[in-house]
Amino acid sequence: MTEEKARAYWKENISAILKLLTVWFIVSYGAGILFINQLNQIEISGVKLGFWFAQQGSIYVFVILIYIYVKWMNKIDEKYDVHE
């Protein structure tokens, strides 16, 4: 791999990571802190939605984002021919 391709590869990798972390931050900080009062008006099985997002929702979103990252990186690896 040439140095130019390696830089482009890492640029895409870091870009993907930053985008996914931004989504996670918005969900965990936004739903767990900023919009908690609005979300607490909704109850599911007796649990307020804002509380659920603060306790569990951001963890579930993080796990989903890990899965998305794996798929995304596999595509980037194939694009730059560094896949297994």
Tens-place pLDDT, residues 23-62 = 988 888 888 788 888 988 999 888 888 888 888 888 898 8
pTM of the model: 0.79
| Tokens standing for residue 34 | 């900023």
Residue 84 counted as domain residue:
no
The whole-angstrom distance between residue 63's C-alpha and the CA centroid of its chain comes to 8
Total of domains in the chain: 1
Residue 64 counted as domain residue:
yes
pLDDT value at 1 more than 80: no
Residue 39 counted as domain residue:
yes
pLDDT at res. 19: 97
CA distance linking residue 61 with residue 71, whole number of Å: 15
The answer to whether 80 and 20 are in contact (CB under 8 A) is: no
The answer to whether 15 and 33 are in contact (CB under 8 A) is: no
Which range of residues forms the domain containing residue 18? 3-79
